[in-house]
Amino acid sequence: MDTQQLIVCRCEEVSLEELLTTAREYQCTARELKLRTRAGMGCCGGRTCRILVDQIVAQATGQVPTHTIPLGYQPPVRPISFQALGGRSS
């Protein structure tokens, strides 16, 4: 398998090639790369790929991520019934 085709963000299915190409083309910060590719915006909220996205930005652009506007971690959202929260069942 070609390493460029490796999936970095599993939730949004963003490949290493897509991240490198976008970072080089636009000279993105980590936040911009996330917004342009949706890497880190899936159901895990970037828990599995955030560090890799930062490393890709550093490799492709030479920028060290400063996180002045940090990439946010968001907990997975799952529906839950009011009954499970302690409400009355119908």
Render pLDDT for 25-39 as a digit per residue (tens, 0 to 9): 999 888 899 999 999
Rounded to the nearest angstrom, the gap between the alpha carbon of residue 34 and the centroid of all alpha carbons in its chain is 6
Say if residues 52 and 44 touch (Cβ distance below 8 Å).
no
Render pLDDT for 3-16 as a digit per residue (tens, 0 to 9): 778 999 999 999 99
**What's the one-letter identity of residue 54?**
D
Alpha helices in 1-90 (DSSP H): 16-26, 30-37, 50-61
Render pLDDT for 36-79 as a digit per residue (tens, 0 to 9): 999 988 888 888 898 899 899 998 888 876 655 555 555 656 77
pTM over 0.75: no
Fold category of 1-90 in CATH: Arc Repressor Mutant, subunit A (1.10.10)
- Selection from 33, 34, 30 nearest residue 45 by Cα: 34
